[in-house]
Structure formats: C-alpha cells, structure tokens
Amino acid sequence: MTVRTRFAPSPTGYLHVGGARTALFCYLYARKHGGQFVLRIEDTDLERSTAESVNAILEGMTWLGLDYDEGPFYQTQRFDRYNQIIDELLDKGLAYRCDCPKERLEKLRVDQMARKQKPRYDGCCRHKQVDPSQPHVIRFKNPADGVVIVDDLIRGRMPFANEELDDLIIRRSDGTPTYNLSVVVDDADMEITHVIRGDDHINNTPRQINILRALGFEPPRYAHVPMILGDDGARLSKRHGAVSVISYRDMGYLPEALLNYLVRLGWSHGDQEIFSIEQMIELFDISDVNKAASSFNTSKLDWLNQQYLQQAEPARVARLLSPHMGRIDIDPSTGPDLVDVVKAQAARAKTLVELAEISAFCYRDFEEFDEGSAKKHLRLVAREPLEKLRAGFELMAFEDWTPEQLKHVVEGVAEELQLNLGKVAQPLRVAIVGRAASPGIEETLMLVGKEATLRRIDKALGYIAARGGEA
C-alpha cells in the first residue's frame, strides 16, 4: 500500500500555525513512508471562501517549503462528482429528502437541551416522501444501531454509538454539498490512506466512516492531532498575537526554525531540540505524538530562530534580511556588504527584524545616543581618548582601513594614555553605534567606514561638551 496523506485547509483566512503543524505532520508521514502528499482546498463554504485566502495558504506552504505532490485540488470544481454520489445514495435508500422547517428544528434542539439531551435530528423525514420540487435538504441515513470504532493512531481505540449520531445533511437546500460528504468523496477518489487532522474533527470521523462504508469504500486510518494552546491555556487565537504563518515570516523568523518549533509541539525525540527537515522525516512517527494539547511558547521559538540564524549560510540570511532592511528605509547597497553584516551580527539577534534594527548603524547615522550607554561612557574622561582616536583614524588612508590597522590605533591610544583597553573601546563603541553593544570594535569600525566614524566621533565629542564638566 502506498501511503497518501492530504492537507485540506478551508480558504476562509490565512494559513495559521495549527494548520501548518498539521500540514507538516502530513508531509513528514508521507515522506518517511515513500508516499504522496496531496493539497486539497476545501472551498465549499462559498460565502466565506476567498481567492485571497487561497493565495495566503499557497504562499504559506511555499514559504515553509512543504512541497506537495498533487494538487491543489478545489472542491468547488468537483460538485458534479459529489452530486453523482448523493444521487447514488438516494437511489440505494441510503439518503433521503428532508423538508423540516427551521422553526421545527430549532424547537427540537431547544427541547432536547432542556431535557439535557445531545441535540440531534430525530429522523422525522426518514420515511416521508418529500416532493423533490419543493425546498429540501438531503440527509444521510446513518445506521440506527451498532458502534463505529475509530482506531486512532494517536488516541487509540475510540467507540461511537450510532444512536448518538444523527442523520447529517449532505446537500443543502441551495443544492451545494456539505463538508462531510465532499471530504468523504475526495478521500475515497484520491485514495487517501491516512487522514491526519486536528482533534476538532473527531466528531466528524464516525459520520464520515459510515458514509464511506455505505459507498463501499475502506476508510483511511485517522490521526487526530491535539490543539495548540496559548500561554493562558486557551486555544491559540489572534488575541495571543500572531498566528498566521506569513506573519511569522514578516516578523523575521526563518521557515526552518518555525518548522522545527512546530514539529516539537506535541512530538519529541529524546532531548533533541534542533532537527533538520531530513532528520524530521527520518525520526517522525505520528504514533509518537502526544495526546495532550501543547502550548505555544514564543520565547522558545525565538531561541530556536537564533540558533538557525547563527548556523545558516550568511549569504542566505543576507538574502532574507534584505527586505527587512528595506522596511526600515535602508538600501543595503549603500553601505557594507550585507553578508559581512550578517557574519558580524547574526549571533546577536533573535529574528531578522531585530537583526535589521541592530545593524542599521552600519548604513546610517543614529539620531540619539542610548541614554544609559551615553551617561556611562560619554563622560568628560572619554574626551581625550576620543580626540586621539579621531586624529589617528583621520590620518589613515582608505586602503589602510583594515581590522589590523584599526586595532593598532585603538591599542596605541590606550597605551599612550595608560588606560585599560575597555576605557578606550567602550566610549568609541558608543560614539560609533549609539549604544554599548556591537561586534568587536575593529569589526564595527570596518562596517561603519572612515567617513562615518569621524562624523560620529565628532557627534560624541559634541555630546560630551554639551554636558559640561560632568565627570
């Protein structure tokens, strides 16, 4: 048997992190077993489905690198097939027309809830001959007794009594098929062997199994993945912050870091934290996924992303960093090579957005000194070292502006004034960067260049002069 999994989002919004994790699990399972991964767009909700949402889903999948083997298939393009199946069910007496008015159904629901019963359709139209020309829906005639066993790959054996399952609607009064019917037909036609999806679908599964068996199809294996929670224990949603995959791209996360984080939400392999996609494929097993819900922890994602920023090829990080520089109005071509900036700064940032922000000094002058850094390091005692450093730098030719020569000047000033190197380098760092944190001082000077270095030292000397006699 060839393993075939599918990811089947509804295009009613962006690709959220819960959906991305489900897609990842489907992808890994298929890749591990030499199978196929199918993308299906479940767009039967005509009122809420949008082309914009479809594009957002496809964009998210592409960014994550979750390449699918078949698709995307669109359910709205398969209505004829669904209606063919519905007509077959009607002909075989496995479905029936129902013309119960909304008022009756609402009263039935209220009465059942008042009796503390589970709301379900009572089969009123099961044996009626409803006029096909009058408004009606089509319902599947669910077995009245017996038990449906779902042998879940994560949760184990789950029995569902058929008497608890009502006759669900499979075609609406407007003639469109419903979710549960179209999913069943698609899974059968596309020969899906394993359905990996969120646990919010658990109650749909026994109903779908009954429809599959009524049609003579063998149901796939099911695995229901627990939900993702926010840090407050509630289901992850917009109020917890960004949940869109593309939002994480825009916030400066690398796709491999987000995938690594998502695979660890509910799955583990010993104490290992960092997994390449190849390792995920080799080690992942759906049966090892936890039954309990997982909590999204942004701090952990930040840590992972920082590891990936440090380990990735600088040229690739530079390519991904470039648009983030553009968003803060910096043209990377106007200063040092962005690859050199990445080499110097990547270990200092958690995201590409942060990397862009802390690297802005390489391309443009800052407006203000960090107050704490300036108060500590740009004092009157720093004036003479800065003046001597400026004089030394000004004498350097362009071709001499190298780490070795810059280090020689800085150490020379420290030696001449009999100062600890830090008493010279830290005021210089604050003068050049605007704050007390940067790469090594020679590296920092190299990135900034001679002209900007002299200009910023002048600014620092002006700041010290403005403070007057403060020691």
> Which amino acid appears at position 303 of this protein?
W
Across-strand partners of 235? 229
User: How many Å apart are CA 72 and CA 60, to the nearest integer?
Assistant: 13
Across-strand partners of 159? 149
Asked if 181 contacts 78 with a C-beta cutoff of 8 angstroms, the reply is: no
Asked if 228 contacts 200 with a C-beta cutoff of 8 angstroms, the reply is: no
User: How many Å apart are CA 434 and CA 72, to the nearest integer?
Assistant: 51
Asked if 445 contacts 407 with a C-beta cutoff of 8 angstroms, the reply is: no
Calculate the CA 438 to chain-centre distance.
30
Active site residue 238: yes
Asked if 339 contacts 314 with a C-beta cutoff of 8 angstroms, the reply is: yes
How many CB atoms lie under 10 A from the CB of residue 130?
A: 16
Active-site residue (options: 107, 238, 291, 375): 238
User: How many Å apart are CA 356 and CA 348, to the nearest integer?
Assistant: 11
User: How many Å apart are CA 14 and CA 245, to the nearest integer?
Assistant: 8
User: How many Å apart are CA 85 and CA 217, to the nearest integer?
Assistant: 12
* 244-273 b/e (C-beta count within 10 Å ≥ 16 → b): bbbbbbebbbbbbbbbbbbbbbbbebeeee
26 is in an annotated binding site: no
Across-strand partners of 295? 229
98 is in an annotated binding site: yes
Report the candidate in 123, 117, 90 with the shortest Cα–Cα distance to residue 104. Answer: 123
Asked if 181 contacts 175 with a C-beta cutoff of 8 angstroms, the reply is: no
Q: CB neighbours of 173 closer than 8 A, spacing ≥ 6? A: 135, 136, 137
Asked if 239 contacts 248 with a C-beta cutoff of 8 angstroms, the reply is: no
238 is in an annotated binding site: yes
362 is in an annotated binding site: no
Q: Which alpha helices (DSSP H) does 294-420 contain, by range? A: 298-311, 314-327, 338-345, 352-359, 371-377, 383-395, 403-416
Catalytic sites, residue numbers = 238
Detail the residues annotated as belonging to a binding site for ATP.
Answer: 238
Detail the residues annotated as belonging to a binding site for Zn(2+).
Answer: 98, 100, 125, 127
Detail the residues annotated as belonging to a binding site.
Answer: 98, 100, 125, 127, 238
